[in-house]
């Protein structure tokens, strides 16, 4: 079961190539420039420290827009859209191009660029937020970045990770250690060695050392960590559990909780909306006109 809630916004990036070559990325700002620098043979990210909170996506829509250079390449657009549809299949959340979403009143979206790194914020930031893709021919790398934008951090930062792995901080340079700090995003399923969100065992480590070691009883999973070959069952299940399955009804900014079909005498439809707090399944039901759909608050 997934503990509901919402956690810390991370600015994250991670791409695993077959040869374990990675890059460090920084989202620069409004000019859509993604600066990257190679850090040996490992990826780095700027996760966690001192940053604010992201939000779940609202209205049942994960909204994206392609930058002009991406629009010039139909293969890139199709690769992103296929990865998005695969993540959200059988969930209450749908992938929607901003050209359609604007007409429905959505103001928040990811702006997808062909950058020189793979990078994404964690969760909905409000307004325009960058998502950069460098490796377009691996759908699982694209899925990794989209899942960050949906609200998930890296697996080895899972709040229960110390039950499953040891983080070998003595093998990690001090300036890289923040990449292994625990971040409870409140949407995590069971710890998943097979997750597309997990780091490789030597990411950020000093030469010929490990940064992550599976605990003794989980040693058989040591070689599994860091795969970018597939989405695991938990990768998909935790999205469905957090955002709801395809039967969930969306009302205004939030989803209608199960068992609430007769709220305030209304048996059908969505005349009321749920105040979106940190958890999209909780909050007071109020008349729709009293809800600020820009922030999801009363």
pLDDT tens digits for 47-74?
333 344 578 888 899 999 999 999 999 9
Q: List, for residues 121-170, the tens digit of each pLDDT value.
A: 888 888 999 999 999 999 999 999 999 999 998 999 999 999 999 999 99
Q: What is the mean pLDDT of residues 258-278?
A: 48
- Taking alpha carbons only, the member of 245, 252, 249 closest to residue 260 is 249
Instruction: Assign 257 a pLDDT band (cuts: 50, 70, 90).
Output: low
Give me the helix-helix angle, 233-243 and 74-88, nearest 10°. 70
Token readout for 182 is 């625990």
Q: How far, in Å, are 69, 120, 233 from residue 72 at the CA level?
A: 5, 21, 34
Whole-number average pLDDT of the chain: 76
Q: Note if 145 is an active site residue.
A: yes
Note the pLDDT tens digit of each residue in 192-212: 999 999 999 999 999 999 999
Torsion angle of alpha carbons 213, 219, 224, 226, nearest 10°?
A: -10
Rounded to whole angstroms, the Cα distance separating 170 from 258 reads: 47
| Contact indicator for 23, 15 with CB cutoff of 8 Å | yes
Query: pLDDT-derived band of residue 96, with 50, 70 and 90 as boundaries?
Result: very high
Q: What is the per-residue burial (b if ≥16 Cβ within 10 Å, else e) of 276-288? A: bbebbbebebeee
* pLDDT mean over 19-37: 29
CB-based burial label for 25 (10 Å; 0-12, 13-18, 19+): buried
Q: Give the Cβ contact number of residue 267 at 10 Å.
A: 7
- Give pLDDT tens digits for 170-197: 999 999 998 899 988 888 999 999 999 9
Report for 33-47, 69-83, 100-114, 267-281: range of highest mean pLDDT: 69-83
Q: What angle do CA 230, 232, 233 make, to 5 degrees?
A: 140
Within 13 A of 264's CA, how many CA atoms are on the CB side?
10
Confidence of residue 278 (pLDDT cuts 50, 70, 90): very low
Q: Is 6 exposed, middle or buried (0-12, 13-18, 19+ CB in 10 A)?
A: buried
Of all residues in the chain, the percent with pLDDT exceeding 70 is 66
Give the burial class of 105: count Cβ atoms within 10 A of its Cβ; 0-12 exposed, 13-18 middle, 19 or more buried. exposed
What is the pLDDT at residue 249?
Answer: 75
pLDDT of residue 179: 86
- Choosing from 145, 155, 188, 238, the catalytic residue is 145
């Amino acid at each position: 079961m997934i503990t509901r809630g919402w956690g810390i916004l991370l600015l994250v990036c991670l791409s695993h190539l077959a040869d374990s070559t990675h890059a460090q990325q920084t989202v620069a700002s409004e000019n859509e420039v993604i600066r990257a620098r190679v850090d040996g043979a490992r990826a780095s990210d700027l996760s966690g420290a001192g940053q604010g909170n992201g939000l779940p996506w609202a209205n049942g829509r994960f909204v994206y827009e392609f930058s002009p250079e991406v629009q010039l390449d139909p293969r890139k657009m199709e690769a992103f859209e296929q990865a998005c549809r695969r993540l959200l299949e059988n969930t209450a959340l749908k992938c929607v191009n901003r050209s359609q979403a604007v007409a429905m009143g959505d103001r928040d979206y990811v702006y997808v660029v062909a950058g020189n790194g793979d990078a994404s914020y964690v969760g909905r930031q409000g307004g325009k937020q960058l998502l950069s893709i460098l490796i377009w021919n691996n759908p699982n790398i694209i899925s990794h970045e989209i899942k960050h934008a949906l609200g998930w951090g890296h697996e080895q930062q899972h709040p229960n990770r110390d039950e499953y792995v040891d983080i070998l901080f003595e093998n990690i340079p001090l300036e890289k250690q923040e990449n292994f700090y625990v971040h409870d995003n409140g949407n995590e399923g069971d710890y998943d060695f097979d997750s597309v969100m997990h780091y490789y065992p030597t990411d950020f480590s000093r030469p010929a050392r490990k940064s992550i070691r599976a605990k003794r009883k989980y040693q058989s999973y040591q070689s599994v960590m860091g795969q970018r070959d597939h989405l695991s069952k938990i990768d998909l299940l935790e999205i469905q559990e957090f955002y709801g399955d395809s039967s969930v009804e969306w009302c205004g900014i939030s989803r209608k909780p199960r068992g609430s079909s007769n709220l305030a005498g209304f048996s059908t439809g969505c005349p009321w909306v749920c105040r979106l707090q940190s958890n999209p399944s909780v909050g007071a039901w109020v008349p729709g006109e009293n809800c600020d759909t820009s922030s999801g608050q009363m």
